[in-house]
Amino acid sequence: MAGGQGAEREISLQSGLAVQKALRASGHCVTEIDPLEKGWKLPSNTEVVFLALHGEYGEDGQVQSWLETLGVPYTGTGPEGSRVAFDKELTKQVFEQNVIPTPRWIMLANTRALPPTDLGEGWVLKPPRQGSSVGLQIVDAPDQWHEALAIAGDYGGPVLCEELIRGREITVGILDKVALPIVEVRPKDGPYDYHNKYTVGATDYFCPADLPADTAKRISEISLQSFEAVGASEFGRVDLMLDETLNPYVLEVNTLPGLTETSLLPKAAAAAGLDFPALCGRMVDLAVQDHVG
């Protein structure tokens, strides 16, 4: 299942195409469904729904709730964990409740808000219920604030404002309660935004990331803690920043991470010895096991 109505539709279709090829190469019979219209129906012989959806409807728990009522196994996290992880405000609250290190933050009610003076110099603005860095704005100076806030606010509702952590950007893939090798992302120009995520050649990737062993161990432990705290299961990805002294700050948990040519979870799985068809097959197996369990 790929596509849908959200802002990440095109990326979801790319993920879906990659997954279809991988599953068919492994001998699975695959039917494609695009839930662009909510009256979609599953084929009568459906054994597992592989969710390659991103963003609204796919990651926010809606489609998971419907599949639960149908009694059909599906890949990834359940309705409640999906709902919490997709909402950046709820995720931040869970991090604070579980003493998980995360950048300081506030919610801004409207695009007329002034720059917060208690979050340091430099801010990150995000729509709280979008993924794939949709609407992400990095603000290095106060004179950039109002334009950036207007862009982030274009998606409706309040805007999440975080302190800007200057350092290295990393991500940790999770598969069946195991943290995969850490991936470091280094965009060649600008922040790791929508363009740099999905443009081939725009970003350099290093996996496993060049980190001291004790730092890597701590990052993996914090990532697993974050994943479990929001109620995620089976597989996903935890995004973090490292400051100049390698202290980790968790940004968010992705319950249906991208599965495209430039996506990070497949890179981490490959570093662990799991090629893309094997990764997709493992996701199917986990869906069946969780449903039976």
Cα 184-11-219 angle, rounded to 5 deg: 25
Listed residue (61, 66, 58, 2) closest to 30, CA to CA: 2
Active site residue 258: yes
61 catalytic? Reply is no
Active site residue 234: no
Quickly count helices (H) and strands (E) in the chain.
9, 10
How many other CB atoms are there within 10 angstroms of residue 53's CB atom? 30
Cα–Cα distance for residue pair 11/101, rounded to 1 Å: 30
User: Which residue of the set 15, 254, 263, 281 is catalytic?
Assistant: 254
* 32 catalytic residue (yes or no): no
Check 237, 249, 263, 281 and give the catalytic one: 237
Instruction: Determine whether 168 is an active site residue.
Output: no
198 is catalytic: yes
Residues forming beta bridges with residue 241, ordered by sequence position: 169, 249
Query: What type of residue sits at position 6?
Result: G
Q: In which residue are the tokens 């195991």 written?
A: 178
- Out of 198, 220, 233, 263, the active site residue is 198
**Identified catalytic residue from 56, 169, 184, 239:** 239
Cα dihedral 148, 198, 251, 239, rounded to 10, equals -170
- Selecting among 8, 87, 162, 184, the annotated active-site residue is 8
Catalytic site includes residue 110: no
The residue from 12, 15, 82, 132 that is catalytic is 132
Catalytic residue among 4, 55, 135, 258: 258
| 8 Å CB contact between 102 and 75 | no
Structure-derived torsion over alpha carbons of residues 96, 99, 100, 101, reported in degrees to the nearest 10: 90
Q: Is 34 a catalytic residue?
A: no
Total Cβ atoms within 10 A of residue 222: 21
| Alpha carbon distances (Å) from 178 to 44, 58, 173, 195, 218 | 34, 24, 8, 30, 14
Q: Which residues are catalytic?
A: 8, 132, 198, 237, 239, 252, 254, 258
